[in-house]
Amino acid sequence: MRIDAHHHVWTLDRGDYGWLTPALAPIHRDFSLSDLAPHLGAANIEGSILVQAAPTEAETMFLLDIAARATEVRGVVGWTDFDAPDASARIDALAAHRLLVGLRPMVQDMADDDWLLRPALAPLLAAMARNGLVFDALVLPRHLPRLLRLVDDHPATQFVLDHCGKPRLASGETADWYRDIASLAERPNIVCKLSGLVTEAAPDWQIADLRNAVDHVVACFGLSRLLWGSDWPVVNLAGGYEKWLAAAEALLADLSADEKAAVFGGNAARIYLAHRGRRC
């Protein structure tokens, strides 16, 4: 099964998408699964992982409700307030929803660059591991050394690095990213989501602009720890679903059929669904 390991839907009137302003005109509107369906159909993608885009549990419940009525959505990566006094209980309660497969604090938007190092996170990651939930790491390159420490401290927790850690491809300031990705990949409890690169590249990006970064994550993580995702509809800011999928397939054209099947679906099923005792 081919799986899109990272996409969103949203309804602006919900009012909890603070980052989604009119300045992002191509995506400043409602997006539903019916908008996504033609892209999945054209790409022969049968399943998907629906990911939170707002820092509220209300949005997570909104996504879980959508997923419960959509056969193509195989799991939801949601959000909870990790800073709440009852955060462990909240995680346990959310985990009761069979379609929840992970949680994603929006670290890239946090004022405290050291948030990942807070001791209070320890029991929360233990609760996630106990419930079979994946920790999706939405971070920027400057967070990678902190993420490395968190991954080391919680070997029982499965981590997913979103968007390859968002390397600064447009500016070319990537030396630290290359170093930190290599260090992270040495840890067996983290995998890398091959997504989001085109929105970090220059507006007129070409496949060649992505090649070094893709080759690096392939070399470091290996093909059993890479998960392709569209990051739709955010990808509409940088060419759209089909252009990014075609670029990824071109960059991975030399893989065997089994390797392609892993990156474009099998790994997502293993990381997200098997952790919850679910099958595709």
Q: What is the pLDDT of residues 151-161, one digit of tens each?
A: 999 999 999 99
- The CA R_g of the chain, rounded to the nearest whole Å, is 17
How far is Cα 276 from Cα 74, in angstroms, rounded to an integer?
11
Percent of the chain with pLDDT over 90: 98
pTM > 0.85: yes
Q: Report the amino acid identity of residue 45.
A: I
DSSP secondary structure of 193-240: EE-S-TTTS-TT--HHHHHHHHHHHHHHH-TTSEEE---BTGGGGGT-
Mean pLDDT of 193-212: 98
180 touches 141 (CB < 8 A): yes
Check pLDDT > 80 for residue 275: no
The conformational region for residue 66 under phi > 0 = left, psi -120 to 50 = alpha, else beta, is: alpha
Percent of the chain with pLDDT over 70: 98
The burial class, CB within 10 Å (0-12 / 13-18 / 19+), for 54 is: buried
Q: 24-51 burial, b if ≥16 CB within 10 A, otherwise e?
A: eeeeeeebebeebeebbeebebbbbbbb
How far is Cα 224 from Cα 218, in angstroms, rounded to an integer?
9
3-class SS at 56? Answer: coil
How far is Cα 39 from Cα 153, in angstroms, rounded to an integer?
39
What end-to-end distance do the CA atoms of the chain give, in Å? 8
Cβ neighbours of residue 100 closer than 8 Å, sequence gap 6 or more: 60, 64, 75, 76, 77, 78, 94, 133, 276
How far is Cα 198 from Cα 169, in angstroms, rounded to an integer?
9
Check pLDDT > 70 for residue 278: no
> Omega into 167 within 30° of 0, i.e. cis?
no
pLDDT value for 277 = 66
State the average pLDDT for the chain: 97
3-class SS at 26? Answer: helix
Per-residue pLDDT of 106-128, as tens digits, reads 999 999 999 999 999 999 999 99
Cβ neighbours of residue 156 closer than 8 Å, sequence gap 6 or more: 126, 129, 189
How far is Cα 269 from Cα 246, in angstroms, rounded to an integer?
22
The burial class, CB within 10 Å (0-12 / 13-18 / 19+), for 130 is: middle
Phi, psi torsion values for 164, nearest 5 degrees:
55, 20
Check pLDDT > 60 for residue 279: no
